[in-house]
Amino acid sequence: MSACSFSIDQVLLLLAQGLIDADKSCVDPAKEILFDHRAIDSAREFLLTHDDRVVHSSELESVTGLSRYELSRQFNKLLGTSPYRYSVNRRLDKARRLIGQCSFADLAQQCGFADQAHFSRLFKSTFGITAGKYAQLHTH
């Protein structure tokens, strides 16, 4: 009896899979993503060259020709993060390189953060230590 029900289950599974494959509305959207690599590269390059300020999604739309939603979806799938978070991380990387060359307030301004407190919060949440502690470790 178990051999017979196994074969019936197998037939039902194959039938269901055949119906799903034949119905275009059942396509897995994750498999159907067509990436615009040129647009994503343009967005990355734009974010890298504008690491001194917040880049607005409307600017990225103009640069890439993609809607902010499509860009965000593709960017996230290809790079594992959103364009905004990518930008913040690049600005934090820039700040790390500049630590010790100017005050934290000037550093925050040069890297496009609202103020020193905003910079300090993001630095600590990203790297796990304060900018001041990083500066101490970096100079030794």
State the SS3 of the chain.
Answer: CHHHHHHHHHHHHHHHHHHHHHCHHHCCCCCCCCCCHHHHHHHHHHHHHCCCCCCCHHHHHHHHCCCHHHHHHHHHHHHCCCHHHHHHHHHHHHHHHHCCCCCHHHHHHHCCCCCHHHHHHHHHHHHCCCHHHHHHHHHC
Question: Is 50 inside any structural domain?
Answer: no
pLDDT bucket at 18, cuts 50 / 70 / 90: confident
Q: Give the per-residue pLDDT at 55.
A: 96
Domain that includes residue 109, residue range: 87-139
Q: What is the number of domains present in the chain? A: 1
Identify the residue with better confidence: 80 or 7. Answer: 80
CATH of the domain at 124: 1.10.10.60
Question: Is 94 inside any structural domain?
Answer: yes
Question: Is 4 inside any structural domain?
Answer: no
Question: Is 78 inside any structural domain?
Answer: no
Q: Give the per-residue pLDDT at 58.
A: 95
Question: Is 95 inside any structural domain?
Answer: yes
